[in-house]
Amino acid sequence: MIKNFLIFLMLSLLVTNCSTIGGFGFGKKKNQFEKLKINEFLWKASNNLLINYPNVTSDLKDGYVSTDWIILKKNSKNRFKITVYILGSDLIEENLEIFVTKEVLKDGFWKKGQASSSFSDSLKKNIILRAKKLKSE
């Protein structure tokens, strides 16, 4: 009886220490990116690109990386805020959404301006290239 109990206990410990597929183990453990269905390489490339800007915040659970206002030295009357969303687990352009907010200083007040779509497109291409490079490494 004790022998059967010890065998049962050992088997239980073995099964619970394995990674899970259907709760029974024997499979590959999912990392945080797979669990959240966010592409790891798009996430890392976005963070790497925006890390040099002020007060970057990111939330893996919600799949975004965002900057605080960026004021360019060459034109201090314009400021930008960049937010990147990773929308899926595949390394494809459709899983990357970039929003650029622009404001222009007029009469002492910041007023909404129009950000160039080519700026967003350039950021997206840069992130995709970085992500593909990270994946190949």
Amino acid at 129: L
pLDDT under 50: residue ranges of the chain? 5-6, 9, 13-23
Task: Look at residue 4 in the predicted model and tell me its pLDDT.
Answer: 54
Q: What share of the chain is helix, strand, coil (3-state, %, to 5)?
A: 40, 25, 35
Residue 20 in tokens: 């899970």
- pTM confidence score: 0.73
Please give the structure tokens belonging to residue 26.
Answer: 């024997």
